[in-house]
Structure 1
Amino acid sequence: MKKITTLLLISLSSFGLQAQNFIQAYQNRANMVTQTNITNNLLEFEALGVKTTGSAANTNAFNWLKNKYLSYGYSVSQISEDPFTFGGTTSSKNLIITKTGTVYPNTYVIICGHYDTITGPGVSDNGSGTSIILEAARILKDIPTEYSIKFIHFSGEEQGLQGSGHYADNVVFQNNIRQLNIKVVFNLDQVGGKIGNTNNAIKCESDQAGLTGNNAQSLAMTQQLATCTTLYSPLQTVMSNAYSSDYIPFEQNGDIITGFYENVRSFNEHTVNDTFANVDPVYVFNVGKAAVGALQHFAVATSVLGTNEVAANSLESVKIYPNPAKDYLNIELPKDIKNFNLEITDLNGRLILNKENETKINVSGFTNGAYLCTIKANDKTAVRKIIIGK
Structure 2
Amino acid sequence: MKKVTAFLFTCMALQNMSAQSFIQAYKNRADMVTQTNINTNLQDFAGLGVKKTGTTANNNALDWLKSKYLSYGYTAADLSEDTFTYAGNTSKNLIITKTGTLYPNKYVIICGHYDTIVGAGVSDNGSGTSIILEAARILKDVPTEYSIKFIHFSGEEQGLVGSSHYVDNVAYQGNTRVLDIKLVLNIDQVGGLIGNNNNTITCERDTGGVSSNNTASNAVTQELMACTTLYSPLQTNLSYAYNSDYIPFEAKGYTITGFYETIESNNQHTVSDTFANLDPVYVFNVGKAAVGALQHFAVASTNNNLLSTNESSVQKSGEAVRIYPNPAQNLVTVEFQQKVKQFNIEINDMAGNTVLALENQEKINTSGLKNGVYTFTIKTEKGNTTKKIIINK
Shared fold per TM-score greater than 0.5? yes
The percent of aligned pairs where both chains have the same amino acid is 67
Is the CA contact 2:232–2:285 (under 8 Å) kept in the aligned structure 1?
Answer: yes
Say whether 1:68 aligns with 2:68: yes
Q: How far is the alpha carbon of 1:255 from its aligned partner?
A: 0.2
Is the CA contact 1:17–1:223 (under 8 Å) kept in the aligned structure 2?
Answer: no
Say whether 1:36 aligns with 2:74: no
List per-residue Cα deviations over 1:217-262 (Å, max 9, x = no partner): 0000000000000000000000110000000000000000000000
Is the CA contact 2:12–2:235 (under 8 Å) kept in the aligned structure 1?
Answer: no
- Structure 1 CA distance for aligned equivalents of residues 206 and 115 of structure 2: 24
Is the CA contact 1:230–1:237 (under 8 Å) kept in the aligned structure 2?
Answer: yes
Give the aligned partner of residue 247 of structure 1. 246
Q: How far is the alpha carbon of 1:91 from its aligned partner?
A: 1.7
Counterpart of 2:223 in structure 1: which amino acid?
A: Q
Give the aligned partner of residue 356 of structure 2. none
- Structure 2 CA distance for aligned equivalents of residues 15 and 237 of structure 1: 12
List per-residue Cα deviations over 1:100-151 (Å, max 9, x = no partner): 0000000000000000001110000000000000000000000000000000
Give the aligned partner of residue 111 of structure 2. 112
List per-residue Cα deviations over 1:169-189 (Å, max 9, x = no partner): 110000110110000000000
- Structure 2 CA distance for aligned equivalents of residues 313 and 173 of structure 1: 38
Counterpart of 1:126 in structure 2: which amino acid?
A: N
Q: How far is the alpha carbon of 1:99 from its aligned partner?
A: 0.2
Consecutive unaligned residues in structure 2, runs of 5 or more: 309-347, 353-369, 373-390
List per-residue Cα deviations over 1:14-40 (Å, max 9, x = no partner): 844421000000000000000000000
Give the aligned partner of residue 259 of structure 1. 258
Give the aligned partner of residue 20 of structure 1. 20
- Structure 1 CA distance for aligned equivalents of residues 217 and 187 of structure 2: 15
Is the CA contact 1:31–1:312 (under 8 Å) kept in the aligned structure 2?
Answer: no
- Structure 1 CA distance for aligned equivalents of residues 351 and 12 of structure 2: 34
Is the CA contact 1:112–1:133 (under 8 Å) kept in the aligned structure 2?
Answer: yes
Other structure's SS at 2:18 match = helix
Distance 1:36 1:16, change over 3 A: closer
Root-mean-square deviation (CA, aligned residues, Å) is 1.9
Q: How far is the alpha carbon of 1:3 from its aligned partner?
A: 2.1
Distance 1:58 1:228, change over 3 A: same
Q: How far is the alpha carbon of 1:196 from its aligned partner?
A: 1.3
Give the aligned partner of residue 174 of structure 2. 175
Distance 1:172 1:307, change over 3 A: closer
Is the CA contact 1:54–1:90 (under 8 Å) kept in the aligned structure 2?
Answer: yes
Counterpart of 1:312 in structure 2: which amino acid?
A: M
Give the aligned partner of residue 332 of structure 2. none
Counterpart of 1:165 in structure 2: which amino acid?
A: S
- Structure 1 CA distance for aligned equivalents of residues 35 and 98 of structure 2: 24
Give the aligned partner of residue 312 of structure 1. 350
Distance 1:167 1:308, change over 3 A: closer
Give the aligned partner of residue 219 of structure 1. 218
Other structure's SS at 2:53 match = coil
Is the CA contact 1:7–1:241 (under 8 Å) kept in the aligned structure 2?
Answer: no
Counterpart of 1:52 in structure 2: which amino acid?
A: K
Give the aligned partner of residue 375 of structure 2. none
Is the CA contact 2:54–2:86 (under 8 Å) kept in the aligned structure 1?
Answer: no
Distance 1:136 1:6, change over 3 A: same
Give the aligned partner of residue 350 of structure 1. none
Q: After TM superposition, what 4+ stretches of structure 1 lie above 6 angstroms from structure 2?
A: none
Other structure's SS at 1:240 match = strand
Q: How far is the alpha carbon of 1:9 from its aligned partner?
A: 1.0
TM-score between the two structures when normalised by the length of structure 1 = 0.79
Give the aligned partner of residue 293 of structure 1. 292
Q: How far is the alpha carbon of 1:305 from its aligned partner?
A: 2.4
Distance 1:291 1:271, change over 3 A: same
Distance 1:33 1:254, change over 3 A: same
Distance 1:100 1:264, change over 3 A: same
- Structure 1 CA distance for aligned equivalents of residues 306 and 151 of structure 2: 29
Is the CA contact 2:13–2:236 (under 8 Å) kept in the aligned structure 1?
Answer: no
